[in-house]
Amino acid sequence: MSGFKSDFLWGGAVAAHQLEGGWKEGGKGPSVADVMTAGAHGVAREITDGVLPGKNYPNHEAIDFYHRYKDDIKLFAEMGFKCFRTSIAWTRLFPKGDELEPNEAGLKFYDDLFDECLKYGIEPVITLSHFEMPYHLVKEYGGWRNRKVIEFFVRFAKVAFSRYQHKVKYWMTFNEINNQANFHEDFAPFTNSGIKYEEGEDREPIMYQAAHYELVASALAVKAAREINPSLHIGCMIAMCPIYPLTCAPDDMMMAMNAMHRRYWFTDVHVRGKYPQHLLNYFARRGFALDITPEDKAVLTQGCVDYIGFSYYMSFATKATADNPQLDYDETTSLVSNPYVKKSDWGWQIDPVGLRYSLNWFWDHYQLPLFIVENGFGAIDVRESDGSVNDQYRIDYLSAHIAEMKKAVVEDGVDLMGYTPWGCIDLVSAGTGEMKKRYGFIYVDKDNEGNGTLERSRKKSFAWYQKVISSNGESL
Ligand code: P53
């Protein structure tokens, strides 16, 4: 092959809670994203007990896409997008999460949004659960600690598939389901699974239990989608940060392999429908007694995904240490800085070659079509007095990554469906809640304190990406 397929899905990616705002509009209920305050690099977002007065909740208004989506999609069309990845806010369809009937106003919003995309020939690519589960399910059920949440999620998924089956072909179940491998910090357990740990709780088995229920829910959703309409394509979504050994010392290599096991077993279950033996042995060694029933195991085999969606921003590195004879990976303590790569202002290691490596790693393991559904450079942009934003650093980051992605396709033969850079329009950062960590081709006039006109303007990268798409990745 000389380049990308002729129907390659170039586009951009966002998530409902990070751009829509309108957090109470059309009967929407509060989600986990609505109870998280703004943080900063090195300052965690506070997870409050409900929405408290006097706190800054950046997702409540976000960039007001809820009211401005028509203008924004027009700009995406101008860039030449073939697809647009967003999520359905679960709380627009099921404000509390445990209702039996969906909320029509919420359903109507996404009908209109998808119609607006299709008007320009832009294919919607939809994530069902992107860090925005109903907060009511956290309060009443303990989030994904509770098996009962499977039923609520599957109801939501079935409603979405049935309603939008003729508008949306590409779906993903859980965004970055493997972030929760980082269970010592509060962010990933809460955003992935609606879990707030009590003081002194043994966090790790609770994480595995929640992930298991999510994987069962995902498999049931895949099964349901096939029954509703066999032409739907359902993928998983994995946060890919490949973990390198710091050195070629054999123990460092083994440490890196174990780390990959511990962070990417989720993909094995999604793709192969069963747990890898190394993880079952680990559960036994650690004495984790999980609720995994024979019925669950059967369901997992029946709901294997059609493709692997993944995000790629950075690579990690790890090394063996004397105090860790089993070479167990702990995401909070086992990572080290890679001396061969640079870092973003938020400490994310910049490694374009790691994207080629990741594509090959997924392809070697699973031989399923791959879809890069997030990649991007969070940076502080400066708007000049004439309104322009000269984000050459973003162009440099993206073009270097696309060049490596091309090698993976052309030289290595990886089957790649598409590429949707993250935050194609500036939006609220998931990790920090900041506006100033920007990813967009489109600038949004709003700052961390919530000031600004919300006016949109094209950055330098806008015209650059337009050319990338029109040349099908030849002009970088
Ligand atoms: P922000 C951690 C590591 C890799 C991807 O992240 C991550 C995270 C969580 O912060 O999240 C994904 O906004 C996620 C998006 C998120 C994007 O990466 O923290 O799917 O919701 O906005 C970028 O800079």
| HEC-encoded secondary structure of the chain | CCCCCCCCEEEEECCHHHHCCCCCHHHCCCEHHHHECCCECCECCCECCCCCCCCCCCCCCCCCHHHHHHHHHHHHHHHCCCEEEEECCHHHHCCCCCCCCCCHHHHHHHHHHHHHHHHCCCEEEEEEECCCCEHHHHHHHCHHHCCHHHHHHHHHHHHHHHHHCCCCCEEEEECCHHHHHCCCCCHHHHHHHCCCCCCCCCHHHHHHHHHHHHHHHHHHHHHHHHHHCCCCEEEEEEEECCEEECCCCHHHHHHHHHHHHHHHHHHHHHHHCCCCHHHHHHHHHHCCCCCCCHHHHHHHHHCCCCEEEEEECCCEEECCCCCCCCCCCCCCCCEECCCCCEECCCCCEECHHHHHHHHHHHHHHHCCCEEEEECCCCECCCECCCCCECCHHHHHHHHHHHHHHHHHHHCCCCCEEEECCECCECCCCCCCCCCCCECCCEEECCCCCCCCCCCEEECHHHHHHHHHHHCCCCCC
Residues ≥6 apart with Cβ < 8 Å to 412: 356, 359, 360, 363
Q: Which two tokens stand for residue 150?
A: 């499977």
Query: Is residue 49 within 8 Å of 190, Cβ to Cβ?
Result: no
Q: Which residues are catalytic?
A: 374
Q: Which two tokens stand for residue 139?
A: 């309060």
Per-residue pLDDT tens over the stretch 278-301: 999 999 999 999 999 999 999 999
Q: Which atom of ligand 1 is nearest to the CA of 313?
A: 4
User: Cα separations (Å) of 341 from 41, 312, 338?
Assistant: 20, 15, 6
Query: Tokens 């400490």 map to which residue?
Result: 347
For CA atoms 11, 17, 21, 23, give the dihedral sign. positive
Query: Is residue 384 within 8 Å of 392, Cβ to Cβ?
Result: no
What is the pLDDT, as a whole number, of residue 122? 98
Measure the CA angle with vertex 142, ends 141 and 146; round to 5°. Answer: 70
Mean pLDDT score, 54-60: 97
Q: Is the pLDDT of residue 1 over 90?
A: no
The residue whose CA has the least distance to atom 15 of ligand 1 is: 430
What is the pLDDT, as a whole number, of residue 49? 97
Tell me if 15 CB under 6 Å of ligand 1: yes
Per-residue pLDDT tens over the stretch 110-141: 999 999 999 999 999 999 999 999 999 999 99
Q: Which atom of ligand 1 is nearest to the CA of 191?
A: 9
pLDDT band of residue 46 (cuts 50, 70, 90) is very high
- The CA 431 to ligand 1 mean position distance, Å, reads 6
What is the pLDDT, as a whole number, of residue 116? 98
Q: Which atom of ligand 1 is nearest to the CA of 422?
A: 17
This model of the complex carries an ipTM of 0.98
- The CA 377 to ligand 1 mean position distance, Å, reads 11
Q: What is the dihedral of CA 103, 128, 138, 51, to 10 degrees?
A: -70
Tell me if 239 CB under 6 Å of ligand 1: yes
Percent of the chain at pLDDT exceeding 90: 100
Tell me if 181 CB under 6 Å of ligand 1: no
Tell me if 430 CB under 6 Å of ligand 1: yes
What is the pLDDT, as a whole number, of residue 97? 98
Q: Is the pLDDT of residue 440 over 60?
A: yes
- The CA 223 to ligand 1 mean position distance, Å, reads 28
Residues ≥6 apart with Cβ < 8 Å to 254: 320, 327
- The CA 152 to ligand 1 mean position distance, Å, reads 25
Site to probe by mutation for ligand 1, drawn from 32, 180, 311 as the one with most ligand atoms within 8 Å of Cβ, is 311
The residue whose CA has the least distance to atom 9 of ligand 1 is: 431
Q: Is the pLDDT of residue 418 over 90?
A: yes
Please state whether the predicted TM-score (pTM) of the whole model is above 0.90: yes
- The count of C-alpha atoms lying within 13 angstroms of the C-alpha of 298, restricted to the half-sphere facing its C-beta, is 3
Find the distance separating the first CA and the last CA of the chain, reported in whole Å.
18
Per-residue pLDDT tens over the stretch 335-362: 999 999 999 999 999 999 999 999 999 9
Tell me if 26 CB under 6 Å of ligand 1: no
- The CA 343 to ligand 1 mean position distance, Å, reads 16
123 DSSP β-pair partners = 83
What is the pLDDT, as a whole number, of residue 253? 98
